[in-house]
Amino acid sequence: MTALVVAIDGPSGTGKSTISRRIAAEFGLAYLDTGAMYRAAAWWCVREGIDLADTAAVAAQVRELPLQIGTDPREPSFAVGGEDVSVVIRSTEISTMVSAVATNLDVRAQLQDRQRAAIAAEQRPDGFSGGRGIVAEGRDITTVVAPDAQVRILLLADEAARLARRARELHGTTDSAALEATRDQVVRRDADDSTVSNFTTAADGVLTVDTSTMTLEESVDTVRGIVTRALATIEEGAR
């Protein structure tokens, strides 16, 4: 069977990572969180004492980033130079810094090349998924990294829903203090990243799924249906 590539984009708080991992696990696919790659790059630069405002120095440092990626959707992992950074890159400190790296155009080009290589690796029989394919999620997977993916989805949700979801995830509550504490990680980061990537408007051929009023299960079910139909089409074409 043709290796399936599912590309999922969208802003923070749309359920992108959770949905992508669920879909990858259910269909026996590998999983790639491209946003974590930018987080790992930011962590690496900070640890090495690089000024994130120095775009040339950051790009040079990221060029040497010794990043190892685990694509098991049940236990995705990221290591830098053999050191597991899966947890530390999710810290508030890195969250406030990552946009400085993610908006560096040289860095984006470098990491996009690595993302394409990771996707290609999971289309070979020796990849984690045995060559069946991968779910890759991020900001510009549907348009720049994997524009030829058989399934391309843009997940959207209104700002209130996105803030509430991220506040619940980070603080366990959606009271006003939690929402305000979360705003920088959702609204400001998306605004910064939107200067270098369009992840709020679907390109031609990209399906939009608005999860604003959906439960997680409803969102997963909607995406599952899209992937199932794509697989049926692929299998029909192979006959």
Q: Which residues are annotated as a binding site?
A: 10-18
Tell me which H or E stretch contains 9. strand 4-9
Tell me which H or E stretch contains 218. helix 216-238
CA distances from residue 120 to 126, 156, 191 in whole angstroms, order as listed: 11, 27, 30
| Binding residue ranges for ATP | 10-18
Strand locations in 77-181, DSSP E? Answer: 77-80, 83-84, 133-138, 151-156
Round to whole Å and give the CA distance between 19 and 34: 14
Round to whole Å and give the CA distance between 52 and 105: 13
Q: Are strands 77-80 and 67-70 parallel, antiparallel or unpaired?
A: antiparallel
Round to whole Å and give the CA distance between 17 and 110: 22
